[in-house]
Each structure stands twice: as structure tokens, then as C-alpha cells.
Amino acid sequence: MDRNAILVVGSANMDMVVVAEKFPQPGETLFGRQFNMYPGGKGANQAVCAAKLGGETHFIGRMGNDLFRERLVQNMASDGVVMDHLLIDEQEPTGIALITVDGGGENEIIVISGSNMKLSPADVESRLALFNRVGVVLAQLEIPLETVARTAELAAAAGACFILNPAPACKLPVKLLQRVDFLTPNRLELELLAGMSILDDIESVRCAAQRLLDQGVGNVLVTLGERGSLWVTPGEARLFAARRVQAVDTTAAGDAFNGAFAFALSRGETVPQAIHFANRVAAFSVTRMGAQSSMPTAADIEEWV
Ligand code: RIB
């Protein structure tokens, strides 16, 4: 292993996905079009994305001792993720997510965390040696906040770049924010983190991102769906346009962005190059159903016209 490797510390879920013409109203019953189970979870999706693109990717997570774990591990391993550091929980079941996708490819998600929320700071410390051997560490917020905070400390101590995808969003302690090299919220997550409403213009997004920079974040990279992504650093904001596509399922588009961005950085790409690449991978992912099943290989991306 060299320091081109990536470490993802995060969740894994089995996604139960229903596709329907539209989202039901409260109290409404609708007929759906199809149902399927797909491997998911923000941590696992981002790890699979980086691995499928060709990155040496290690995953630290906690799953239950059940059939979903077997299926998730099998899928992640066959996509190339190194699963040697997985922990197994004898009490809690593997996480699941209930997802509805509407006719336009938009999604609504409810997560039942199960074993993901049992991933402790001690679990991560028990895999300490890994931190000194990777260049990029990537985490999300589907595991306990104290575990994310410890991950950030270990990444900083090891001199690795730390990317935090703050999803699902919650208020973050300043001490954690100060250890984040790249924070990658979407618009809604940024509103919550910055504590302000964001209007439909880029200047408003920049102002909110600036609040996080003021608290010590190194770079804020806001994912804006079909508009692309905005890279905000002290004194500068740059918009990277996204490619227009016909969306089939937007689930895990943010995960594709994060996994691809981490992969590109680990390969020594510059930040603008990494953002262009991540935008492209995220756009590709929404043209396919499912989370991990929608992640492209490097060849898929090269061939994609
Ligand atoms: O980001 C998409 C993911 O969010 C899904 O795979 C689901 O499991 C939830 O974690």
C-alpha cells in the first residue's frame, strides 16, 4: 500500500427502493412501479465509488451478524473495496434505508441506522495503523458524531487529507470543523450547518459557505445538483457546471461526487481537476438505478459520450 490509498469510515445499509410516479401525500396510498433491494449506505457507496474508479479503498464500518451484512460485504468486496477492517455487531442489525424514487428520479430516504450507530471511536482507534498508510480519509454523518470527530483527529495526526460529507446534516462542533480540509454539503445541508436560509443565487450559497470557512474549514465544496458544484475558499468562489443528463435515480449522486473527488485527490489531481471529474461521475450515477449499482468504472466514464 502507498499513500495513494483512501480510507472511508462510515455506514452501510441495505436500500429498499420503491419507484412510483410521484411521492405520496400524508395519508395517501399509491401504487408503485417497482421494488428492489440495492446495496447502499453513504459510507459504503462512497467507498465503492472510489474502488470502482480504481482507487485502493479501505472501509471501516460496523454491520450486524445477518444476511444483509453477507450481501453487502460480498458486493463491496466484488467492487474492489478492502473489507478487512469491518466490525461485526452481535446486538444490532445491519442498517437499512427505505427509499422512494419518483418519476423524475428524485428521492426521499428514511434510514434505520442499526449497527452503524454502534461504530465507536475505540473501533476506529483499533484500526490506527491504517491512517498512516492512506492519503485521503473520507467520512459522513451516518455514524456517531464522536466517531467522526475521532476519525478527523486521527487523519490530522497522520497528515492525511480529511474530507467530510456532512450528510445527513447536523450542527458540527467547531473543533471538528477546524480539522476538515474539504466539507462537501449540498444546499440543504449547508443551510443547516451555516444557520441561514440560502436564496436561489450563487452569492447566497457563497455567503453561507463563508460562515463555515470562518469557523476553520479549509475548503467548502457545495454540491448543487444539476447546476454543478461551488468551490469556496477564503476570498474566492468558483462554480463548476454539471453535465445535463436525463435522471433515472438521483440516489447516491452526492456519494458518487465524494467518492470520485477523494479518488481524484488521492491520485494527485489538482482540486479543480478533481471537481470536474467528480461532477462527471455524479452525473453518470444518476442515469442508473440504485446506489452502489450506479457507480461507474473509469472505463465507463471515459467511454461516456
Ligand atoms: O446517499 C444515499 C444513501 O443514503 C442510500 O444508499 C441510503 O442507504 C442512505 O444512506
Whole-angstrom distance, CA of residue 69 vs CA of residue 254 = 23
pTM of the model: 0.97
How many whole angstroms from 21 Cα to the centroid of ligand 1? 20
Which residue's CA is the nearest one to ligand 1's atom 2? 252
Distance from the alpha carbon of residue 41 to the mean position of ligand 1, in angstroms: 4
Strands (DSSP E) contained in 224-283 are: 229-233, 236-240
In contact, 292 and 252? CB cutoff 8 Å: yes
Q: Using one digit for the tens of pLDDT, what is the confidence trace for 232-261? A: 999 899 999 999 999 999 999 999 999 999
β-sheet with 34-40: strand ranges across = 34-40, 13-19, 95-101, 107-112
Q: By percentage, how much of the chain surpasses pLDDT 70? A: 99
13 within ligand 1 shell (Cβ under 6 A)? yes
Predicted pLDDT of residue 235: 84
- Integer Cα distance of 258 and 279 in angstroms: 9
**Which residues, in sequence order, are CB contacts of 59 under 8 Å at separation 6+?**
7, 8, 9, 10, 12, 43, 44, 47, 76, 81, 82, 83, 85, 86
Burial 140-168 (b: 16+ CB within 10 A, else e): bbbbbeebbbbbbbbbbebebbbbbbbbe
Closest approach atom of ligand 1 to CA 11 = 10
CB 285 near ligand 1, within 6 Å: no
Q: Which atom of ligand 1 is nearest to the CA of 44?
A: 6
Catalytic positions are 255
pLDDT at site 305: 75
Mean pLDDT value across the chain: 97
Q: Is the CB of 282 under 6 A from ligand 1?
A: no
- Ligand 1 neighbour 290 (Cβ under 6 A): no
Q: What's the pLDDT at 1?
A: 43
pLDDT band, very low/low/confident/very high, at 2 (cuts 50, 70, 90): low
| Fold for the domain defined by 6-12+42-71+80-91+118-304 | UDP-N-acetylmuramoyl-L-alanine:D-glutamate ligase (3.40.1190)
- Cβ atoms of 111 and 97 closer than 8 Å: yes
C-alpha 24 to ligand 1 mean position (Å): 20
- Main-chain dihedrals φ then ψ at residue 161, nearest 5 degrees: -75, 130
